[in-house]
Amino acid sequence: MVKTLNVPLVGARRRGAPSTARASRRPRGERWTALVAVAFTVAQLILVRPGMGLGWDETVYVSQVGPHAPAAFFSAPRARGVELLVAPIAFWSSSTTLLRVYLALLSGLGLYVALRVWRGLFPVRVLASAGALFATLWVTLFYGPQAMPNYWVAIGALACVGCFLRARADRSDRAALWGVGLSTAFMAWIRPTDAVWTTLPLFVLAVAVRGWRHPRLLVALVAGLAAGAGEWVVEAYVSYGGLGQRLADASRIQGGLGWNVAVGDQLRSLGGRTLCRPCTGALPNPAVMVWWFVLPLLAVLGLVVAVKARRTASTLPLLACATTSGIPYLFMIGYAAPRFLLPVYALLAIPVADTLVHLVTAPSRAWRPVAVTLVTLGLAGHLAVQFAVLQATVQRTTASHRAWAATAAELHRLGVRPPCLLTGDEAIPIAYYAGCASAETSGHNANTTETDIVRSARREPVGVLTTPGGRPPAYALDWAPHPAGHLWVYVAPGARGGAV
């Protein structure tokens, strides 16, 4: 039988002790975490250009609810959470700047709420430091204001584990119990499979560990998963041929899930490669990668610090959930994107911050100046690297999005205007920029046939995009070729689009 794990609440009031000290500490603690969240929001607005344009995946999510372009094909792995998250802005406005500002504000609020859940489980300075560590990673800053799922899974995971610990420590805490269910539902709503992997250790604790068995906690976890993933499961039967077929299609689109060691791929992506598929080429500069190796070491040291501070049971679930959430992206997928590991970074941020705070506040006066100097220099170098990678990534991404916009403008000049249809290379994002529908006859986003495309060409402008020197499909061989930005487009004769 597994031993009972105790969760002492840091600063918890002993029976009969006055609560004034705790009450006086609470506002200051909230100010520190709020300051981190505000700084995170401001940093996004300054460092990540609000007018950067939408990325490939973003155009898929936003097109589902926005009026700017017809909805792009929604492939099997995707979930509807992100499109609903952006709906309050995207439903009535096509302004990318407005959407970025909205998401930056929302992501800052989400970070504050997730950190606030942990109040009392760790010292305030640890929580504020953890928030700062997570918020200053280039990948966090880059994806915070984007219409992408991984940051929101990270926030849901952090809130879920904290609520789980609070509900287990105080079985009368209904707010924490509701927090477990809602944060689990939120994760599943955004990305169902990630929610399952992340909550797996919590299910084990709630079922198999003596002292942690809590029927209501188990019900909250199950209900949260069911509520969040329910739409995804129903949609699987309505549009994808059943749950098994959707899972199989999702696996195929992701290259076939199985034993694939992607650690090297993740290392290659640390230099700012937002999608490393295929993930070839040299590794980035060691200075860019060093933090990635230091992170797990500091997290393990955080467990040692937690044992001494008698909050082991607050740290172990963080480490366990971080491990399981990272398994599919480190060992089961054949490519990499740095955003995949955002939940891992969020969960490890607290034990890592616990280690760093302990080092700079250690009681040993002889070693404290050395520790403070090393930690200060290490963090300064780390921040410099993160800023450099972020700046380069933003510039490169902005340039690629502007290339899509330039191609869309050239398509309009050629008469390919809404209502219109695009297919071929980079058709999905360029179609969004041009206000057209997109369609593919093969590949991961196959959703039509050549016959349907030819039929569409009789009633609306249709363009086939190819790389320079590329060959169009047989049905478009006699269509007029034109240069369009960094691509070529073969425009069907006949119908002309309306005014833009």
Same domain assignment for residues 311 and 460: no
Instruction: Give the pLDDT band (50/70/90) at residue 362.
Output: confident
- 48 vs 98: CA distance, rounded Å: 13
| Residues 40, 122 share a domain | yes
User: What residues make up the domain containing 450?
Assistant: 400-491
**Of residues 358, 493, 350, the one with CA closest to residue 415:** 493
Specify the number of domains making up the chain. 2
Whether 347 shows a pLDDT value over 50: the answer reads: yes
Q: Assess whether 323 and 455 both reside in one domain.
A: no
- Assess whether 73 and 173 both reside in one domain: yes
Peptide linkage before 278 cis (omega within 30 of 0): yes
Range with the poorest average pLDDT among 97-106, 247-256, 396-405, 420-429: 247-256
Is there a single domain that holds both residue 199 and residue 276? Answer: yes
CA 353 – CA 334 distance, rounded (Å): 31
Spatial contact of 155 and 57, defined as CB atoms under 8 Å apart:
no
DSSP 441-497: SSSTT----HHHHHHHHTTS-EEEEE-TT----GGGTTSEEEEETTEEEEEPSS---
Give yes or no: residues 174 and 44 share one domain. Answer: yes
Q: From residue 150, give the alpha-carbon distance in Å to each of 116, 194, 210.
A: 20, 9, 33
Placement of tokens 């200075």 in the chain: 287
Closest CA to 420 of 407, 410, 434: 434
- Enter the pTM of the model: 0.93
Confidence of residue 6 (pLDDT cuts 50, 70, 90): very low
Reference 37, options 124, 107, 85; nearest CA is 107
CA 197 – CA 175 distance, rounded (Å):
24
DSSP string, 184-230: HHHHHHH-HHHHHHHHHHHHHHHHHSTTT--HHHHHHHHHHHHHHHH
Q: Is residue 58 part of a domain?
A: yes
Q: Are 436 and 70 in contact (CB under 8 A)?
A: yes
Per the prediction, the chain carries an average pLDDT of 92
d(C-alpha 226, C-alpha 308), whole Å: 38
Examine the domain organization and report whether 199 and 257 are in the same domain.
yes
Pairing of strands 480-484, 487-491: antiparallel
pLDDT tens sequence across 203-232 = 999 999 888 888 999 999 999 999 999 999
Stretch (H or E) spanning 345:
helix 342-360
Please write the tens of the pLDDT for every residue from 53-85. 999 999 999 999 998 899 999 999 999 999 999
Q: Rg (Cα) of the chain, in Å, rounded? A: 25
Q: Which of 313, 341, 361 is the last residue of a domain?
A: 361
Co-location of 172 and 249 in the same domain: yes
Please give the DSSP secondary-structure letter assigned to residue 54: -
Q: What is the DSSP letter of 338?
A: G
Is residue 170 a part of any domain in this protein? yes
Reported as a single tens digit per residue, the pLDDT across 366-404 is 778 888 999 999 999 999 999 999 999 999 999 999 999
Domain-located, residue 499: no
CB atoms within 10 A of CB 446: 12
In eight-state DSSP terms, residue 260 is B
| Segment 432-447 mean pLDDT | 94
- Domain-located, residue 377: no
Exposure on the CB side of residue 128, measured as CA atoms within 13 A: 15
51 plus 188 within the same structural domain: yes
